[in-house]
Amino acid sequence: MDNRRIGVFDSGLGGLTVMKELMALLPNESLVYFGDTGRIPYGTKSEETVLKYTRSDINFLQTFHLKAIIAACGTASSIALPKLSGQYDIPLLGVTKAASRRAAAVTRNGRVGVIGTTGTIRSGAYRSFLEEENPEIQTVSVACPMFVPLVEYGYAEKEAAKMIAKDYLQEIIESGADTLILGCTHYPLLKKVIGEVLGDSVTLINPGECVAGDVKKLLEENDLLSKEKQTEQYQFYVSDDPAEFIRLGSMFLERPIDGLVSRIDIEKYN
């Protein structure tokens, strides 16, 4: 048994959908979340910048006594983690590989759709991971940059979201994919709209659920599960004003986080 914390980082709010899954699946674990709200978004940045930001995020989280770190950001998972593999003594898990493994396992016709930020789709990471699982899988990838602001401005279940989703997802529909990876951590909040557009025949893969399962397996196999809940079980840090993070973060988590969020200078950890 191991009562050390688990670290989670994201470019902003979206990683809270991963945090939510971890809270549900591993209720005794203590979690530290860092949202890089001062440098968001990662999805439009160069590979060099994403790598720099990811390193500093990990450096900050390593100031805590952690047993694992999760890249809850699809862009960081896709672009930075493959390059950082083996550079740290602590296990690093990302949403991209976990979701790819699940999609490869559940697809019935070998056609998998991927939607994500511009950076995630440009990286081709999902395609690569899917081909590692099964070289015969056909992947169709579509960048959906408008989905993030739709979620953050409260339009996730409004008609505007459905209209934009119909446009973005047309290529997925035409491809005949029977499985779709929600390749950005904001997108689970659009699951209802996406499901309505694609229909019941398409299985939606939530990367947060997938990586939470991987974390649980890692902890169980290495006897690292926490024995009991710790004081200050959940801690949240941001790199900009916490006010907006508190407001929207409570919506992402479906629980209040007021009073639990601190601001830090992430530039100190470059």
Confidence of residue 119 (pLDDT cuts 50, 70, 90): confident
Q: How far apart are the first and last CA of the chain?
A: 33
Instruction: Provide the 8-state DSSP code for 265.
Output: -
Stretch (H or E) spanning 79: helix 74-79
**Count of residues making up the chain:** 270
pLDDT of the residue at 175: 97
Confidence of residue 34 (pLDDT cuts 50, 70, 90): very high
pLDDT of the residue at 247: 87
pLDDT tens readout for residues 138-171: 999 999 999 998 988 888 889 999 999 999 999 9
Confidence of residue 33 (pLDDT cuts 50, 70, 90): very high
- Asked if residue 73 has pLDDT above 80, the reply is yes
- Asked if residue 47 has pLDDT above 80, the reply is yes
pLDDT tens readout for residues 173-187: 999 999 999 999 899
* Cβ neighbour number for residue 170 with a 10 Å cutoff: 12
pLDDT of the residue at 97: 92
How far is Cα 72 from Cα 7, in angstroms, rounded to an integer?
10
How far is Cα 23 from Cα 87, in angstroms, rounded to an integer?
28
Distances, alpha carbon 89 to alpha carbons 69, 85, 232, 270, in Å: 11, 10, 25, 18
Q: Mean pLDDT, to the nearest integer, of 109-134?
A: 94
Stretch (H or E) spanning 213: helix 207-221
Average pLDDT, the chain: 93
More confident residue, 256 or 164: 164
- Picking from 261, 239, 258, 265, the residue whose alpha carbon sits closest to that of residue 40 is 239
Q: Which residues pair with 235 in a beta bridge?
A: 32
Residue 110, exposed/middle/buried by CB under 10 A (0-12, 13-18, 19+)? middle
Instruction: Pull the structure tokens for residue 22.
Output: 């971890």
pLDDT tens readout for residues 79-89: 999 999 889 99
User: Is 61 in a helix, a strand, or coil?
Assistant: helix
pLDDT of the residue at 262: 95
* Cβ neighbour number for residue 265 with a 10 Å cutoff: 9
- Asked if residue 258 has pLDDT above 80, the reply is no
Q: Mean pLDDT, to the nearest integer, of 207-229?
A: 94
How far is Cα 43 from Cα 207, in angstroms, rounded to an integer?
16
pLDDT of the residue at 200: 94
Strand blocks (E) in the chain: 5-10, 31-35, 66-71, 92-94, 111-116, 138-143, 179-182, 203-205, 234-238, 261-263
Stretch (H or E) spanning 222: none
Confidence of residue 95 (pLDDT cuts 50, 70, 90): very high
pLDDT of the residue at 170: 97
Q: Cβ(218)–Cβ(243) under 8 Å?
A: no
Stretch (H or E) spanning 50: helix 47-61
pLDDT of the residue at 259: 76
Catalytic residues: 73, 184
